[in-house]
Structure 1
Amino acid sequence: MVAIVRSGLVLVNCALWGRSMISTYLGYVTATKDMATTLARVAKQASVKSDQQYYDTHIGKIKNVDEFLADQKLYSYAMKAYGLGDMTYAKAFMKKVLTSDLSNSSSFANKLTDNRYRQFAAAFNFTANSTKPSAQSDAQKNDTIGLYERSFANEATLAKQESAFYSKWIDKVANVDDIVNNTRMRDYVLTAHGLDATHISKSFLKSVLTSDVNDPNSFVNTASNFSSTSAQATYKLIASEFGFKPDGTLSGATAQTEQQKEALISRYDNTVPTLTTLASATSNDQYYHQQIGKVRSADDITGDNRLFSYVKSAFGVSSKVTAKQFSLAVSDKNYAAVTGMTEMVSAFNFSPDGSLPAGQPAQTDASIKTTSDKYMAHYADARQTLFKDAETHYAAVVGKIKTINDFFAANDFQSRDLPTVQEMALRAYGIDKNEVSREQLRKILESDPYDSKSYVGSLNDQRFVDLAKAFNFDSKGHLRPAVEALPLASMNSFVSAYSKAKNLRIDGPDARKGRQGCEGRGQQFHQVDRQGQER
């Protein structure tokens, strides 16, 4: 790590040799009025003022230890600040000090008995053994994974909040437009059935909700209105959960009976959160037993997202398997074998076209029990996939990222069921994949999150700033050194050196004021460094 003291301004950046040491100001401590008055006499001295101005102007241009040592005026000023002025001539010796690894007790600086050398090395740490830049440091990686895990708990909490809102407002609905024109209500209904509200028009949903499922000529019973028979089954299910007349008014006292409302809320609470708890699993199992006897075709399975998810989980099939893939597996045994769905398909009595032979149920009693037992035994497997497997994969892939293009790469075939780096990162920072395009996300990651005037700063959204801070891409999408917090020892060293330099040649009452001012500014510096890491 490279840390530079700049007369009250501290710049920190993990840098490589040959790269600019300074990319971002992590801390700036303003002078107090008393301090300015106290130091006025010393600051007016031409030589002191000149040296300080030179240091402030040139320290940011230094790229490596050789440049630092070659600039005599800069180098000597720094040496004097640490009380090492009498060793300014010994550049070879000081280079060994500056390139010492302070984490190694056997390094050159750590073997010296004079503590000033270790302080100097900590302040100007041109570590010879600098590691190559990476897309994320270990700390950034751990933070992202931690936020990713937390997002699942947040998801369940938010689901409960949405359900409380829905439960309150559905009883007040007097017309279908009260749902269709209310974004939150509309999203709730569609999300509960695994549908993306952004792809469904208000007029289409209104036609669904005002359909009579018992009328063969109604909107939901007209196959040409839907992209597939499975999609038709989904919307037919939605229509059956509400009581609206064709004109949009209520057919009963409320838009839903108490039983319908409880069923929809249960569907939302048990399918929207990604992780399934024991309580949710038990509820899903009960739902399966209630519904399986009503199934008349494969579309009745795939058209009910809760039932379909249950079946896939029971037989260990990827949650990403679509209705179309399930239908192909039912119709083609070879496809089922290749895709690992043979056992799942064999548990049902569907004909190749997805229908049931006359008089036969979707499953025998034995198959129902087997499916139920499998589900209760394997529902928690998703936790292994979402946490341990996903996090292990994430850590491995992030470590191989060379440019920003790798951030957007898809998983290989073996890891196809795991979330990608992009998916995990967006989820960790609370960003929906539909909120930003790939090009916008690229611009966010290539922005300087510490510059309020940068692209990411102009968005005024802390989530995007935090995401940009979590990765180390420069403006061209290449890796850059990571910005890290200063170690406490280094901060204390900076404060101590600053205090000594500022109180040079000050006696009496002025010295006491100077020390008090430096202590105050030192506390501010510690606070600014912490805030810089928290933002």
Structure 2
Amino acid sequence: MTSTTLSTYTSYLIVNRDMKSSLDRVANQGTVARDTEYYEANIDKVTTADEFVDDYRLYSYAMKAYGLEEMTYGKAFMKKVLESDLSDTASFANSLTDKRYATMAAAFNFGTKTAEAQTSVQEDNLVKAYQDSFDQEEKDIQSEVDYYSKAIANITDVDDLLSNSRLKTYVLDSFGLDAKYTSTSYLKQVLTSDLEDPNSFANQTGSDKFVALAEAFNFQADGTVTDGDSAQTSGQIESLRLDYVYNKSTFPSDTLAAANQTYWETNISSMTSVDELVDDPRMVEYLTTAFSVKVQFTSTIRSLLTSDSAAATLGYTGVKAMFNFQSDGSIATGETAQNQTQLASTSTSYQTAFKANQEDAVTNAVTNYQTRISEVKSVDDFLSSNKDDDDDTNDDVTEIWDVALRAYGIDPADVSKSRLKDILASDPNDPKSYVNQLKDDRYVNLVKAFNFDAEGDIDTPLLVQSASVISNFATDYKTEQLKLLKGSAREKAEEAADKEIDYYNTQMQTITTAAELIADDRLVSFVLESKGIDPKSVTKDELKNMFSSDLDNPKSYVNSLANGVFAEIVASFNFDSEGNLSAQPVGTIQQRGDVLATVNNYKQQTLEEQEGESNEGVRLALYFERKAADVTSAYTILGDTALFEFFKTTFSMSDYISNMDTDQQASMIEKYVDISKLQDPDYVTKLIKQYTALYDSENSSTTSPALTLLTTTGTTRISSDTLLAVAQLSSK
């Protein structure tokens, strides 16, 4: 080295002082620009690890980007690395001592299987909506009951009743009649029929429901009510209420239990024979629930209620004792079907059994759903029945599509399986898709709750960040939080980090806009800290400018920042130009943010490589400056040949140190290097100055100017800025 040759430290400063300009200079070089253009244009076309390693330009570009250029020849080895499941600590990539391999694998999706019918958040939201639907059903039923009870008091003419669609629907629902197929004119003729006349309209319908409907009101032939009377008596209103609750309830609610109890007590007290009980399906249902009677035919129920021997044979002697029916089915004079003691005991049994059924109805449906949805691989799987024709134990299990439909307020009777299949295979983000043509938000929300592609197969969920990127951020965050910590402090930090990771994982499945992300300080802190950035150093306005930047425009706000990590962060999110969740940025085997990180790594590696061609010391100084913050122990330095070389030169260590025991080498490093200060840029700069001075000393026959400055004892020092200025002037 001659006196006119720039010192290693000065050369390092020239490159490092404006790293962005240095990297831009490298990026604009012909070969680098062409290779980068090829990589960006073709990486999204790759779908398998085989395709990737067989495309030498792509493969070698990535290998260099992650500092593995010397292993480019090992295709089979690298294929195993890339296909490793990084969530498995025992996977091939994770088992390698050199963590560069796991880092590269994390930048791709070859080993990540993310296709699933539902994410955990989608499943949780659907299950919650399903569970909430039962409370909503009760509220809706009570709301209609209250409305009807008040409004019917003002009805004096049949036309007033039928012109009110809400009242009309209530009446029809009470009798299990469909408003779609029951005309107003038909209803009017039924309601104004004289039931004492066998030729009246209601009696001629041949339907018990229409006869009962006519009996439930007091309209005369002209549609009015007699002066002083009302359209319905309080008893008729109450009877209709009990029928409405029964017919509108789709699960065993508290409201239904109370209605059934009232219905039983009202009817059992006036019953004169066992036939009246067994001929009423609702009474039979109450009885079988209260006493867990498992018989198929009403004739059998009649027998066990009237015959001691039949009850004993069937094992229902206790049930027989709850009633006072004689052997012929009649009730003795002065007796009732049940006395107060029997009625009270029956009520208690019913409430207990009903409550158990109520809990089981929801719990079993949810458990069955959660079990089966994890096995679903296609829409066909989703729509296949979970009931085995040869297994009666599954007959009462709710089908999983019924759970899903109910969660979004859809009646299974309103949509066929074939139509549902077309709906679920639709793209909710395409305005022209089948589901959007239905103009029904219920179906759109249903489709968004699942991840089926156009072929009906499960697909990778469209999230604000892909599953692999979320995992990478989580790993980086935990590494940053635990760095250099030991003992109880590390345990406490790990617990806190896990809590934040859980929050991040969950929220990343719900965020749909950049605005939502930026508004959540907890998420913002997580994102920034995972990349080693202090959240306090970035304002919300700056974040808004970053996320509204055009990543393809090199002059956009985020691309103009000195720290290229910000652009990588923005690119890691699947937002469109408007800041909304979009499938457009989603890549195949590499997400947009990982592509940008790979390109940035490639430029950095190329820069260091080119500097090393003229001065290996500059290359090593740049490398150390880049990697210092990632050093967590002396063993990190020992495991990295370049870092170990930096250490040996910096502290004038003989190569013989390599022959020492590993623990002794680690102790030696800890003696000279304060690992905890490697996060401090000033300390890192101090080590680089010392390294470059000694590097020049070892590789020069004359005294290095930098070494002279480092070892001077005088009070006057020439600053590195002055050295840089002199070097720049000398180069002109």
Q: Say which SS state the counterpart of residue 244 (structure 1) adopts.
A: coil
Distance 1:418 1:516, change over 3 A: closer
User: Quick check: 1:123 aligned with 2:111?
Assistant: no
Give me the whole-angstrom Cα distance separating, in 1, the residues matched to 2:257 and 2:285: 11
Work out which of the residue numbers 377, 392, 413 in structure 1 matches 2:352.
377
Specify the alignment match of 1:480 in structure 2: 458
How far did 1:67 drift? 1.0
Find the aligned partners of 2:460 and 2:47 in 1 and give their Cα distance. Answer: 16
The one-letter amino acid paired with 1:375 is Y
Q: What is the Cα deviation at residue 505 of structure 1? A: 10
Aligned equivalent of 1:58: 42
- Answer yes or no: is 1:415 the counterpart of 2:390: no
* Residue in structure 2 matching 1:490, options 468, 472, 483: 472
Identify the match of residue 432 of structure 2 among 453, 463, 479. 453
Matches within 5 A, 1:266-281: 268-269=244-245, 272-276=248-252, 281=257
State how far apart, in whole Å, the 1-side matches of 2:184 and 2:34 are: 70
Match of 1:431 in 2: 410
Counterpart residue type for residue 440 of structure 2: D
**Residues 180, 107 of structure 1: alpha-carbon distance in 2 compared, 3 angstrom cutoff:** same
Secondary structure at 1:294 match in 2? coil
8 Å CA contact retained: 2:245, 2:259 = no
- Return the alpha-carbon distance in structure 1 between the equivalents of residues 212 and 103 of structure 2: 71
- The number of equivalent residue pairs is 473
The letter for the 2-side match of 1:430 is G
Which residue number in structure 2 is paired with residue 155 of structure 1? 137
What CA distance in whole angstroms lies between the structure 2 residues aligned with 1:175 and 1:226? 25
**d(CA) in 1 for partners of 2:301, 2:107:** 68
Which deviations, in whole Å up to 9, do the C-alpha atoms of 1:487-530 show, x marking residues without a partner?
4343688997999xx79999x99743785973884596479999
8 Å Cα contact 1:317-1:341 kept in structure 2: no
Q: Does 1:175 align with 2:164?
A: no
Q: Name 1:25's counterpart in structure 2.
A: none
1:13 is aligned to none
Name whichever of 117-126 and 514-523 sits farther off: 514-523
**TM-score normalised by length of structure 2:** 0.52
For 2:257, give the aligned amino acid. A
Match of 1:390 in 2: 365
| Counterpart in the other structure of 1:292 | 268
Partner of 1:209: 191
Measure, in 2, the Cα distance between the counterparts of 1:402 and 1:512: 44
Tell me the SS of whatever aligns to 1:105.
Answer: coil
Per-residue CA distance 1:272-314 (angstroms, 9 max, x = gap): 3444455753453234212223346778658877655533432
Q: Secondary structure at the match of 1:249?
A: coil
Change (3 A) 1:188 1:509: closer
Between the aligned partners of 1:126 and 1:99, the Cα distance in structure 2 is 5
Question: For residues 400-446 of structure 1, what are the alpha-carbon distances to aligned partners after superposition, in whole Å with 9 as ceiling and x for unaligned?
Answer: 65664452436232211222223222212321112212221121123
Which amino acid is 1:377 matched to?
T
Q: Which residue of 1 aligns with 2:79?
A: 95
CA distance in 1, matches of 2:201, 2:269: 22
Residue 376 of structure 1 aligns to which amino acid in structure 2? Q
Quick check: 2:574–2:582 contact (8 Å CA) kept in 1?
Answer: no
Change over 3 Å in CA distance of 1:62–1:283 after alignment to 2: same
Aligned to 1:31: none
**TM-score, L = length of structure 1:** 0.68
Aligned equivalent of 2:206, options 211, 214, 226:
226
Determine the C-alpha separation between the residues in 2 that align with 1:454 and 1:352: 66
Structure 2's unaligned 5+ residue stretches are 1-22, 305-309, 477-526, 533-545, 584-732
SS at match of 2:412: coil
The structure 1 residue matched to 2:561, chosen from 497, 512, 518, is 512
Q: Counterpart in 2 of 1:363?
A: 337
* Deviation, structure 1 residue 380: 0.9
The CA distance in 2 between the partners of 1:261 and 1:482, in whole Å, is 54
Check conservation: 1:69, 1:91, Cα contact below 8 A: yes
Moved more, 442-451 or 105-114: 105-114
Secondary structure at the residue paired with 1:247? coil
Contact conserved, 1:456 with 1:465, CA < 8 A, in 2?
A: yes
Cα gap change, 1:60 to 1:384, in 2 (>3 Å): same
Q: Does the Cα contact within 8 Å between 1:180 and 1:186 map onto a contact in 2?
A: yes
Could you tell me which amino acid in structure 1 is paired with residue 400 of structure 2? V
Question: Equivalents in 2 of 1:418, 1:94: separation in Å?
Answer: 48
- Determine the structure 2 residue equivalent to 1:36: none
Aligned residue type for 2:472: S
Q: What corresponds to 2:16 in structure 1?
A: none
Deviation for aligned residue 1:268: 3.7
Q: Matches of 2:579 and 2:276 in 1, distance apart? A: 58
Cα deviation digits, residues 341-391 of structure 1 (max 9, x gap)? 9889967788999x9689798824376455333212211122243123333
Counterpart AA for 1:518: A
Distance change >3 Å, CA 110–CA 56, structure 1 → 2: same
Which deviates further from its counterpart, 176-185 or 436-445?
Answer: 176-185
Question: 1 or 2, which has the higher helix percentage?
Answer: 2
Corresponding residue of 1:467: 446
User: How far apart in 1 are the matches of 2:349 and 2:315?
Assistant: 14
Higher relative contact order (CA 8 A, sep 6+): 1
Question: Which position in structure 1 is the counterpart of 2:232?
Answer: 256
2:415 is paired with a residue of what secondary structure? coil
CA distance in structure 1 between the aligned counterparts of 2:327 and 2:432, rounded to whole angstroms: 61
1 CA distance for matches of 2:258 and 2:425?
A: 46
8 Å CA contact 1:298–1:327 kept in 2: the answer is no
Is residue 167 of structure 2 the alignment partner of residue 185 of structure 1? yes
Match of 1:8 in 2: none
Q: For residues 302 and 196 of structure 1, what CA distance do their matches in structure 2 show?
A: 26
CA RMSD of aligned residues (A): 5.1
Q: Does structure 2 conserve the Cα–Cα contact (< 8 Å) formed by 1:267 and 1:306?
A: no
Alpha-carbon offset, residue 107 of structure 1:
3.0
Q: Identify if the C-alpha distance between structure 1 residues 200 and 90 changes in structure 2 by more than 3 Å, giving closer, same or farther.
A: same
